[in-house]
Amino acid sequence: YAPTEGNESIADCLLCPDGFACPDVAMTELRAEHVCIAGFFCSSNSSTNDDSTTGGTIDIRDEQCPIGFYCPAGSHQPIPC
């Protein structure tokens, strides 16, 4: 993920922020469809892109929320119940 121009090396790339997934290479912006979906959490540098369960739409998820916790959309870690 690199939202700026003039990058010279891999060190100029940023990790995908908490609560988002960066499923594509050469991403330049984060959009609403990159927010981690409810029921899952996406920690820094998540890159999962699974469109198999949504009939072709991008479904951003990283790790499923565990038992005893809840994860609203945009979660970067599970929240205890």
pLDDT tens per residue across span 34-78: 888 899 888 876 655 444 444 444 455 568 899 999 999 999 899
The pTM of this model reads 0.68
Q: What is the pLDDT of residue 56?
A: 41
Q: b or e along 22-50 (b: 16 or more beta carbons within 10 Å of the residue's beta carbon)?
A: bbeeebeebeeebbbbeebbbbeebbeee
Q: What is the pLDDT of residue 47?
A: 59
Q: Which two tokens stand for residue 9?
A: 């090396």
Contact 1, 15 (CB under 8 A): yes
Q: Which two tokens stand for residue 65?
A: 């929320």
